[in-house]
Each structure stands twice: as C-alpha cells, then as structure tokens.
Amino acid sequence: MSSVLPPDHPDPDLLADLAADVLPTHQARVVEAHVMACSSCYALLTDAAQVRELLLRDDPGPMPPDVLARLESVIQIEAAARDGLAEHPVPSPPTPQPVRAPAPQPGTDRSQPAPARPDQAQPNRSRPGQAQPYAQPAGRLPRNPLTPAAGTTRADGVPHGEPSLFTTPQAPVQPPPRTPTQPVRVVTPWDDTTTIEAYEAARRRQTARRPEESASSAAAATAGAGPAARTRGPRLSRPSRGPSRSRRDLRQEIRDVRAGKRGTVLAAAAGVVVLVGLGGYVVVGLLGNRETGSASTAASSVQSLDAPRPGAAAGGPPVLSTGTDYTQAALGTQARTLVKQVDGTGPRTMAAKGAAAGTSPSAAPGTTTATSAQADGGNVSLQDPKALNGCLSALQAGGRRPVAVDLARYEGREAAIIVLNGINGGYEVWAVARDCRPGADGTITYLSLAN
C-alpha cells in the first residue's frame, strides 16, 4: 500500500483500505476526499461492496463422495497406526478433576450417523494401565460417543495441551493446561473458558508487530498445520497426556528431554519416553533415525557442528556435507541414499551408492568428511541449529526435525538438501539456497517421496 497518492486516482488497495476502515485517520481523510469527488473511484468502491453478494451466490457444492471416502480411509489408517502406538503401557494421569464437560445432548441431531464399518484397525486397543472409557468393540463407533465422553472424569482429566495451532515462537502468553495434578505453571487467564475475543486480543498483540504481507506466511509457518509447525519452547511444560498425543509431540519431547531442556519435566513425561523406547512403531523409527544418525555421525566422520552440546546428536539433526551433486532427475534416489546414510545403514558408502543411483560424478568418494564440511567455510550457517530452524520456518516446517540435511549441490549449484519426514509417511525433500532463512527460503525445488 502506498501512502502517496498518485496524481490521478488513489491506488485501488488504498481505496479498499478506506472501505475497510483500516487507514490512519489523516490518510483516510485524504482518500475519502478524493473518492467523494471522483465518480469512478466511488463507483469502484460501490462495485466492490456488491462483490460479496456475488461471491455468496457461488456454491461449490458438497464434498464429493469419492473425496469423503478417501479422507475416511486415510483417517482409518491413522487410527490403526495410533492404536499400534498405544498398545504399550502408558502412565495414566490421575483424574481428580471434577467433570466440567458439557452435558451431552442425548437428542442431538447427528446429521451423519456413522455407519458400522469393517474394522480396519487393530483387533483391540488394549492399553494396560489405563482406564478405557470406550470399551467398545474395536472399530465400532459407540452409537453416541458424546455420552460416554461426558460421563467419565477422564474426559476432562486428560488435559488438552495447549493449542499448537495457536502457538507462535514469540508467543508471550502460554496457555497453561488445566491439570491440578501437574504442578507446573501458574495459571494464566488463558484456559478453556477463555473467550475467542480475549484470545484474539492477545493474538492481535502478537501479530501487530508483523509486516502485513509477511503475516500470512509467518502465521502459516508458526501456526502451521498441526504438528508441522511445532515450536520448541512453549511446548516444554505441557503435562503428560494420554497415549494419543501426536507422534511429533513425542518426538519433540524426547528431543527436549535428551537435550536436558526439560528441567521441569515430569515423571509422566519420562514415562512417555519409556513408552517410545518400548516401541511405538513410528516414534521408534524416528528416534532410531536420530540415534543411529548420531552413531553414523561418529562412525563416518560426518561432520555435525552441533558439537558444543554434549552428545551433539541429541540436539540438531545430522547435518552432512557429502559433496553430492543432487540432480532433479535423481533427487528422490539421492535423498533416500542420504536418509540411509544418516540411518547408519549405509555409512561411508554414500558416495558410492549415490553414484550408482545416478549421482553426478562430482560426488567423489571421500568427500564425506569433516574437512569437507569445514571447507565450506562461510556456509556453515545451516549447521547452526538456530539457523536451520529459521530455514525450516521459512519452509513452513518450523519445529520439525529434519531427517537429514546435506550441505551439498543441486544441479551444480551450492544448495542445502533438507529431508523431512512426510506428514503422511515418506519424505519431503527440499533443495534450498544455503542461506535459506526466514523471509528468504531460497527454495529451488521440492519433492515428496512416498514410502
């Protein structure tokens, strides 16, 4: 938006802002004076006001049945996976909190009664050590899940953690979970009863600092789609929850515990670590990445400049400098090779494998060394976990932990290859500029790899 009026007519955006009543008073007066005297600008605003009518008439129709079927099947797969994760003992948080649940609405119209469906999940969601408020046959939806939910104290005893979707790194206000059993924090005005308005006011205070245009991307990056945008600090003192918390939460907490960051970590959180250690399948896989990644880091002299911290691998992801020249054609294969390397399944053989997989010859064997990484000199920035996190934020993947980062080349140019676990399994592979940072992610290409 320009604050200077062009000689003839104000910029349409300025006119729009006048109509939206968001201009500063002095500017509004100037623009308004013009509009009152200019029939064409006046007409434009009149038309704009009518656009809404037109837009409201637009009807995209209901969700097509095939889309619904697809979404439901994906959700079923998720549910099955979650049950797999939940089959291990979990410390059950005590639940002395009085029921605060909204009264169930026995007669409520369930506009879409769930049909019985074949059980695609585990035969039984047995969770030893935990009460099962829904002891129904596996895979069956109780006729009305509202009723049991409201009738059990567990429904309220399990705190809903703070809303990751509403958390930003700079969030000055941390909504504390309401759990009397977790003596973690002082209760702030934010709790389940907080109104949207109060939330919104706080939200405004946060967002007011942001430049207008970067606001959407920043918000998307920090608020993110669920776990994809996890922030580190604010999540630490979330008390333990049931076994169904997201795996990314678990990952984050494990990471934090290992890094010694969770000074106030509760025994229950440690229990989560045990749970993971025992073998939630996805988490173990991820954790395995990290563990073996660190092993291979040592074994293959892959440089990780995360060293200042003891047990460096407990902090940042493996940042390699393999010297590979990634190519568009072979990016998928090369990324998988990279992942294998940090997995420890193929240490030292990266270059050879890469060559076999179509890597450019520039990936000379032996470049996977500490000296290579150090030779990058000024390009160490992404080896700094903070810089890496900044880059991930720019990619709207803030808070996610890369499976691997390779300060290498892409199509002959210096680039950083970042491999993330895909939201739906598989991997996301980004090739970005080495100086990838907030506001300038320098994305060269993106590839989504299936499992």
> Which residues, numbered 201-230, are part of the site for other proteins (CB under 8 A)?
203-204, 207-208, 210, 212-213, 215-220, 222-229
User: Which residues from 354-413 bind other proteins, rule CB under 8 A?
Assistant: 396
* Residue 40 engages other proteins in binding (rule: CB under 8 A): yes
Question: Among all chains, which residue has been given the structure tokens 């030893």?
Answer: 128
Here's the x/- map for other proteins, 239-278, by CB under 8 A: it reads as --xxxxxxxxx-----------------------------
Min dist. Cβ of residue 292 to other proteins (A):
24
Pairing of strands 325-326, 404-410: parallel
Question: Among all chains, which residue has been given the structure tokens 């909190």?
Answer: 97
State how far the alpha carbon of 22 is from the alpha carbons of 28, 284, 356, 362, 442, in Å: 8, 51, 60, 55, 33
* From 158, 266, 350, 382, residue interacting with other proteins (rule: CB under 8 A): 158
Give yes or no for a contact between 178 and 160, defined as CB atoms under 8 angstroms apart: no
Q: Report the residue number, 292 or 326, with the smaller CB distance to other proteins.
A: 326
Min dist. Cβ of residue 1 to other proteins (A):
8
How many whole angstroms from its chain centre is CA 30? 44
Min dist. Cβ of residue 302 to other proteins (A):
28
* Residue 13 engages other proteins in binding (rule: CB under 8 A): yes
Task: Return the closest-CA partner of residue 246 out of 86, 428, 72, 74.
Answer: 86
Partners of residue 414 on adjacent β-strands: 409
* Residue 15 engages other proteins in binding (rule: CB under 8 A): yes
Q: Report the residue number, 208 or 267, with the smaller CB distance to other proteins.
A: 208
* From 43, 298, 370, 440, residue interacting with other proteins (rule: CB under 8 A): 43
How many CB atoms are closer than 10 A to CB 157?
21
* Residue 63 engages other proteins in binding (rule: CB under 8 A): yes
Rounded distance between C-alpha atoms, residue 155 and residue 145, angstroms? 11
How many CB atoms are closer than 10 A to CB 168?
20
Q: Report the residue number, 234 or 323, with the smaller CB distance to other proteins.
A: 234
State how far the alpha carbon of 319 is from the alpha carbons of 191, 257, 267, 342, 381, in Å: 39, 21, 32, 9, 11
* From 7, 24, 62, 308, residue interacting with other proteins (rule: CB under 8 A): 62
Rounded distance between C-alpha atoms, residue 294 and residue 344, angstroms? 8
Min dist. Cβ of residue 258 to other proteins (A):
21
User: Which residues from 67-106 bind other proteins, rule CB under 8 A?
Assistant: 67-68, 70-72, 74-76, 78-79, 82-83, 86, 101-102, 104-105
* Residue 12 engages other proteins in binding (rule: CB under 8 A): yes
Rounded distance between C-alpha atoms, residue 79 and residue 81, angstroms? 5
Min dist. Cβ of residue 89 to other proteins (A):
14
* Residue 21 engages other proteins in binding (rule: CB under 8 A): yes
Min dist. Cβ of residue 112 to other proteins (A):
4
User: Which residues from 326-355 bind other proteins, rule CB under 8 A?
Assistant: none
Rounded distance between C-alpha atoms, residue 290 and residue 274, angstroms? 16
